[in-house]
Amino acid sequence: MSEVELLSVSKLYGNKQPYIIKNLSVTIESGEFFVIVGPSGCGKSTLLRMIAGLEDISEGVLRIGGEMANHWSPSQRDISMVFQNYALYPHLNVRENIIFGLRVKKISHEEREKRLLEACEMLNLTDYLNRKPRELSGGQRQRVALARAIVSQSPICLMDEPLSNLDAKLRAHMRSEIRKIQRQFGTTMIYVTHDQVEAMTMGDRMMILNQGEIQQIGRPIDIYNHPANTFVASFIGSPQMNMCEAYYDGTSQELRINNDLKLTMALPKLKTSTYIIGLRPEYIHIPQPNNSNQTTVQVVINHVELLGNDTLFSFQVNDQQWTAKWNGQWLFEPGDKISIALDADAICVFDKGTRQLVHSSIKQDHDELQKGVLA
């Protein structure tokens, strides 16, 4: 069993406030790829080190495989870990660094060589086996650390931003390779990152942290479509979700963003009041002729980014700058006035006081995703 369970776990240094991790509870299933994501300083790496046994748990219970593990030494937890700063032995060459843990476990020479060659071929390290860490680039050192974790084949693997020092092409390749390895061995993977692409594409589930507290846990697509609060809405997604205040009139069922921009929406669960609304850039469309369901408005473009097959442009809504994402190459210039259409079926509504989600119009849930045509 490689299930990891944290029950009301907290971390503080000495008796000094504030908590680094505060009253955190989560169960990570055996064989799950679980991603922890959040801004710098939110406690992601500290939480990972607590699971590994490199940091003490101030309060709460850690269970590994159903057994309480608070006082287990790191070696008793049978966990492999990839650190952000490599943690390689400077006096050992690449070969010796990778198989060091296998020697300690007294794995046979034949098995060590087999695992070593498989990992090195996967990570393009075959030509560097006799080099010392100081003779490698940062990206190469990170790959050595990855290889060391791969060859251990531990039931639980912790990764602390392992791809941060790789170039873009290798990073994209390694995302798929790590996921493939995890599926192949059925490893319980706990993966820390601040990269949204990694979080969205790699995780079975992900947990968003902020200031040591859980903001939301769920499948990436569900969190993207139904963010629990304004922090999650703005943190997940690039470009981030557009947000501003809007007044909802329950009598007329009209959501008024400003005098020129009003959406007719039936929101029976909401009382007449001011809310914060959110709309992702991809739900701002090109107006379609004779479409009575769309809400169109003219805006003045103040910034344009042409990204190959996509075009991002920004404009002002009340006191906020909003961004739209259109497919294709649009040769707009700052100052151009264009018409846009808002997708009312994709509006998220948040309570102005608590910042919590109170309504999401997005109907495309995980079970309703397009599955394509299978031959």
Report mean pLDDT in 10-residue bins for the chain, 375 residues: 91 84 96 95 94 94 95 92 86 95 90 93 91 90 89 92 82 85 89 91 96 96 95 93 94 88 84 94 89 82 93 93 94 94 90 94 56 50
Domain 4-225 of CATH type 3.40.50.300: yes
Within 10 A of 124 (CB to CB), how many other CB atoms are there? 12
Q: What is the pLDDT of residue 357?
A: 96
Q: What is the pLDDT of residue 372?
A: 53
Q: What is the pLDDT of residue 366?
A: 40
In whole angstroms, how far apart are CA 93 and each of 77, 123, 219, 231? 27, 16, 40, 44
The helix or strand, by DSSP H or E, that contains position 49, with its residue range, turns out to be: helix 44-52
Beta strand ranges found along 141-272 (DSSP E)? 156-160, 188-193, 205-210, 213-218, 242-249, 254-258, 261-264
* pTM for the predicted model, two decimal places: 0.88
Residue 56's closest CA among 46, 67, 45, 44? 46
**Do 4-225 and 230-361 share a fold?**
no
Angle at 35 between CA 32 and CA 41, to 5 degrees: 150
- DSSP class of residue 271 equals P
Sheet with 273-279, edge to edge strand ranges: 261-264, 254-258, 242-249, 273-279, 348-351, 357-360
In whole angstroms, how far apart are CA 30 and each of 4, 155, 216, 222, 334? 7, 9, 20, 21, 52
Tell which CATH classification among 3.40.640.10, 3.60.20.40, 2.40.50.140, 3.40.470.10 matches the domain 230-361. 2.40.50.140
The Cα 5–Cα 265 span in angstroms is 42
Residue 231's closest CA among 348, 143, 369, 58? 348
Write down the domain spans for the chain.
Answer: 4-225, 230-361
